[in-house]
Amino acid sequence: MDMEGLHSFVAVAREKSISRAAQALHVTQPTLSARLKKLERDLGVSLLDRSWDGIRLTKHGRFFLTYSIGMFEALEEAATLLRRRGERTAGGPIDAITDALRLRVGVESFFFPAFMKPLVRGIQAAVPDAECKFVTKTSELLLSLADCDSLDLCLHYTTGPRPNLVSHHLANDRFVLLYPKTGYPDIRPDMSNAHLLKDKRFVLFESAPLLSFPKVTSQAFLKLFGDIPDRFHIVQDIEAALDIVAGGFGYTFVPVTSIYQLLGGPLPFHARLMPEAYLSLPILLSHASAPASPQPVAELSAVILSALQAYVQQIDPAYRLA
């Protein structure tokens, strides 16, 4: 991705003018226009609607802007910390984050709430005095970090072969259909009347899950309805999705591990475990085959895996959702 093009796009979106954005970036208008056109060409879509009335974002531009601004804010925060490092004594935030003795653990964001407690119990059993850094991101990003020795352990969905990692199977995840307790039809366990939900609003996850939409989510829609609905709420995290469904404002289907932490008591919504044909996705615990960490990562992984397996075995009977 062309960083100059991204920077130019954000500037134009902020200034709503090519000329004002060019002045803010201290470049000529032709240079700025060339950067924008290259970015649009690389993406294959128009980001800006240019007219005599000024510059407006297209629907693709509005979508892309959120990610662009988020990326620049994260980079600027990291750069600011690095610039200020010389002003501070040892023990500041960078030293805390980069401490080689700290155990760095990645957890897929979809099942982060469910697996956090057994994960912590496993770490406490393996290394009671450990200090940890926990990262909750998508599986693909976590695995890339693990490949680069930026994570010691990674709890994730399978995304294909990773020759630099050693992986241990924990469980297979399934989809569970969630819908409000009032104002919605009662869906049969075999999903035979799930089509009654089609005109309701579906809670769709933004960000990386959109990349797998054709492969996973749209296939589930086709099995449920025969086609893809057109009424959606958009959210960025699982907690928001669950609150929307519990509040009677929409329905969704999510990996059942997303609600593991709720299965010990009454659920605030109806839940129907969907057939394996809709989704059966392995969950793995991985670590580097040749860890750079001073921690005994392979030994720790075995203890942590055991704690996670005990938790899964305890929860599994709750798959009989009513």
> pLDDT per residue over 164-192, tens digit each?
899 999 999 989 999 999 999 999 989 99
Structure tokens given for 190: 């075999």
Percent of the chain with pLDDT over 70: 90
Q: Amino acid identity, residue 145?
A: L
Predicted pLDDT of residue 21: 92
Helix (H) or strand (E) holding 110: none
Report the 10 Å Cβ neighbour count for 313.
10
Helices (H), the chain: 3-15, 18-25, 29-43, 59-84, 93-98, 112-126, 139-147, 218-225, 238-246, 297-315
> pLDDT per residue over 255-307, tens digit each?
999 998 898 789 999 999 998 888 888 999 999 888 877 788 999 999 999 99
Say yes or no to pLDDT of 113 above 90.
no
* Selected residue with higher pLDDT from 100 and 246: 246
DSSP three-state, residue 285: strand
- On whether the pTM is more than 0.85, the answer is no
Percent of the chain with pLDDT over 90: 52
Say yes or no to pLDDT of 322 above 50.
no
